[in-house]
Chains A and B, each alone.
Chain A
Amino acid sequence: MDTFDNFLSSKIQHDHIDLDLDNSAFNQLHDMVNLNSTKSNVKMNSMFGFLSDFLCPNFIAVKIAFVALLLILAIGNKENKVHNSLVFLCDSTIIQNNVFDDTTAIFNNQVSDSLFN
């Protein structure tokens, strides 16, 4: 079996077929590698483009002012939210009291009506 094994290895390894891919196939593959790199660049730019632009030292004063404005707005918005929720709580208590008063009054009226009619 070893002889046959060696025979197969030597014959098959040195076998040659006259076959090749043409240039257009190669060029297409080449373009695809380019396209993929462009795609990955676009992806990277969309992910980190804003961040890298923002971190570069140009217009630093404008950027600091922008961040400060954002912080002020965020803090203001947070305080507003607390205030609004307090107002809402107060309002809902008043409404509840009013409803309670109304229903008590209606009940009283009905009781007195049934007693005297």
Chain B
Amino acid sequence: MSFNFFKHKHLNDEELFIAISNGDNDSFNDLYLRYKDRLLYFFYRMLSQDKEIAKDFTQELFIKIINKSNLYNPKMQFSTWIFSIANNMCKNEYRRRDVRKNTIACDNPDSFNNEEVLEENHEPVIKLIFNYLEDFDESQKSAFLLKYREGFSIDEISEILDLPVGTVKSRLFYTRKKLQENIKNNHPELTKQFNL
């Protein structure tokens, strides 16, 4: 490719995005590299662990932020803004799937059972965690990923999910507790191995 990556290492995300709004391609390259993998992972884990869907959603998200760059408030942290858009896209997808699921449920009740796509994880523990996580609702899953994968604080997660801090805390607590119970009850060997 003919462009140079990481030309603007010294700029933060917010400054890069303002430069993109003014048509700076190099800034776009940098921001793209900073967020591409994080978003791909988020969409992959949120949306039935389907690689093609994750790719489409990541691409769509970048298109959205380029087209709607005027909606960005520079006072807001860019990372929370981009993940709040990603979360809203997932929410809409869940809603769309719910509608579809209800309409075709009679013909094919297992149409959204995605257990078969969970095989690619390298570590069985990770596979197990995300297998259990499939049973949680969308906001629990996203809070879990934002905390344990992205390392956002509770305040930032509450901003991204547009939920009160207390609600985020309780959802995370419930998700963690349920996961721990599942692992303890069904996989005592792992509990021993990792001293959980």
Instruction: Indicate if A115 sits at the interface (CB-CB under 8 A).
Output: no
B42 to A: closest C-beta gap in Å: 11
Question: Is B176's CB under 8 angstroms from A1's CB?
Answer: yes
Bound-state Cα–Cα, A15 to B42, Å: 12
| Interface of chain A, main secondary structure | helix
**Which of B83-91, B95-103, B116-124 forms contacts with chain A?**
B116-124
Bound-state Cα–Cα, A32 to B25, Å: 10
Chain B minimum-CB-distance residue to A30? B25
Number of interface residues of B (CB under 8 A): 44
Q: Which of chain A's residues 16-50 have a Cβ closer than 8 Å to chain B?
A: 16-23, 25-26, 28-30, 32-34, 36-38, 40-41
Map CB proximity to A onto B131-153 as digits: 1 under 8 Å, 0 otherwise: 00000000000000100110100
- Specify which of B32, B63, B125, B151 is in contact with A13 (CB 8 Å cutoff): B151
Number of interface residues of A (CB under 8 A): 32
Specify which of A16, A17, A32 lies most central, judged by the most chain B CB atoms within 10 Å of its CB: A17
Which residues on A sit within 8 Å (CB–CB) of B37?
20
Question: Is A21's CB under 8 angstroms from B195's CB?
Answer: no
Question: Is A32's CB under 8 angstroms from B63's CB?
Answer: yes
Pairs across A and B, CB under 8 Å, 28 listed = A1-B176, A1-B177, A4-B180, A4-B196, A5-B176, A7-B196, A9-B148, A11-B129, A15-B41, A15-B123, A15-B126, A17-B41, A17-B51, A18-B120, A19-B54, A20-B37, A20-B40, A21-B40, A25-B59, A30-B3, A32-B67, A33-B24, A34-B23, A34-B25, A36-B66, A36-B69, A38-B23, A40-B23
Given contacts A15-B122, A33-B24, 10 further A-B contacts (CB under 8 A): A1-B176, A15-B121, A25-B59, A29-B28, A29-B63, A29-B66, A33-B25, A33-B28, A37-B22, A38-B23
Interface residues of A (CB under 8 A from B): 1, 3-5, 7-9, 11-13, 15-23, 25-26, 28-30, 32-34, 36-38, 40-41
